[in-house]
Amino acid sequence: MKIVIISRGEIFASPTVLNYIQAFLSLGYNVVCICSSCRNNIKEDRVSIYQTGEPIVKNLISKIFNFWRFRKRTLKVIKENNLKSNAIFWVARIDTAIAFGEYFKNEKSVLSLHELHDQFLFWKYITQKVIRYYDQIVFNEYNRANIAKVWYKLLDTPNIIPNKPMYHSRERNAIITNLEIQNIIYSIKSFGKKIIIYQGSLLSDRNLDPLVKATYLLRDRFQLILMGKDIEKRVPSFMKINPNLIHIPWVAPPDHLNVTSHCHIGVAFYDYDSLNSIYCAPNKIWEYSGFSIPILAQNIPGLYTTIGISNAGVCVDLNNQESIVDAIMELDNNYHSYSVNSRDFYDSVDFKESVRKVLYKVTK
């Protein structure tokens, strides 16, 4: 039996979809991937990639046309390869499912939903319409799954598959292939400073000022690195607060993990702007914990029920400078304990087994 995974957009822009493909292969399945584009080769004989070729567009009419064309070309691939005869269809994200409506209602099928979309009524409406056409539903976080059960009046609670990487090198102090970044990291460590890294959005909806201020107070012992695209040009304002901070623009996977492997503490920041945020499902906590790195996390349910309860780090109000300073010192003073707990947290989830259980439910 084959698994046909369908995902609009660039496949390498979605670590979750790539994780699913790796899990399917590890479980012994042949995989057909239908996507808008695939910028890199997947060097695996048991994976067939079909690209439908929709460009990125901004105006509404072009977007609607893209959905229609993605559906038409996907159904053509399914028909020409006779995929309906012996396949499980795994549809990734609601912005993919919208193109197919009830098409998969009589097939063995899974819909994996990556966000709650509580602030986007259109996507909640579309989810309400299409979710019943799939055999199994997957969310990436416990609370999101239970909220969806209530919202969409589901008989069963959706399956939960966390955003843990299928593979993780777990090797600390890995070789960084980017020589400029390598020199930055090695220079920091040569001065005996411990690296605190924030990887993620630098947009203005993230109040990073308290973190920047707190790490400036601790500048003699710690070095803050912000890693991410500075679309809104906020870094110069951060530099005025903390002239010692270092900004590293977006680093292409998997080399970003090589940078992370050199860090002492990882920061997981979300705010109270939506249910989707407070019940977050960040892959960063798994990237950090794979290296046994303790985590400085915002005190919200999605992080407290993972990082906080497992003692893999400390959950505090990241909008409060003093709380951040105290948390950093707590993590540093009890580093070994938090590091062991971080490692154990990573080991507590078997991604492949979680995927296998969902596939079993579809086929039994």
pLDDT band at 205 (very low <50, low <70, confident <90, very high): confident
pTM of the entire predicted model? 0.93
Burial of residue 273 (number of CB atoms within 10 Å: 0-12, 13-18, 19+): exposed
Q: What is the pLDDT of residues 118-169, one digit of tens each?
A: 999 999 999 999 999 999 999 999 999 999 999 999 999 999 999 999 999 9
228 neighbors 257 (Cβ within 8 angstroms) = no
Q: What is the DSSP letter of 300?
A: S
Does position 253 have pLDDT exceeding 80, yes or no?
Answer: no
Whether residues 96 and 219 share a domain: the answer is no
Q: What is the pLDDT of residue 364?
A: 85
Same domain, 231 and 139: no
The answer to whether position 34 is within a domain reads yes
Q: Are residues 8 and 138 in the same domain?
A: yes
- Give the per-residue pLDDT at 57: 86
Is 78 within a domain?
yes
Domain range enclosing 6 = 2-164+350-363
What is the model's pLDDT at position 275?
Answer: 96
Predicted confidence at residue 39, as pLDDT, reads 86
**Residues 44, 18 contacting (CB under 8 angstroms):** no
* pLDDT surpasses 80 at 219: yes
Q: How confident is the model at residue 263 (pLDDT cuts 50, 70, 90)?
A: very high
pLDDT at 36: 95
Residues 241 and 257 in one domain: yes
Whether residues 155 and 10 share a domain: the answer is yes
Residues 160 and 228 in one domain: no
249 contact partners, CB below 8 Å, separation of at least 6: 227, 228, 229, 230
Considering the domain boundaries, does residue 330 fall inside one? yes
Shared domain for 240 and 264, answered yes or no, is: yes
Indicate if 157 and 131 belong to the same structural domain: yes
Those residues with Cβ within 8 angstroms of residue 312's Cβ, 6 or more apart along the chain or in another chain:
285, 289, 294, 295, 306, 338, 341, 342, 344, 345
Q: Are residues 300 and 289 in the same domain?
A: yes
In a domain, 251, yes or no: yes
Residue 341 sits in the same domain as residue 250 = yes
pLDDT band at 239 (very low <50, low <70, confident <90, very high): very high
The verdict on residue 292 lying in a domain is yes
The total number of structural domains in the chain stands at 2
> Could you tell me if 159 and 207 lie in one domain?
no
Q: What are phi and psi of 7, to 5 degrees?
A: -150, 120
In a domain, 174, yes or no: no
Can you give the pLDDT at residue 45?
86
Q: What is the pLDDT of residue 58?
A: 84
In CATH, what number is assigned to the domain containing residue 254? 3.40.50.2000
When pLDDT is averaged across residues 57-73 and rounded to a whole number, the result is 93
Are residue 135 and residue 83 in the same domain, yes or no? Answer: yes
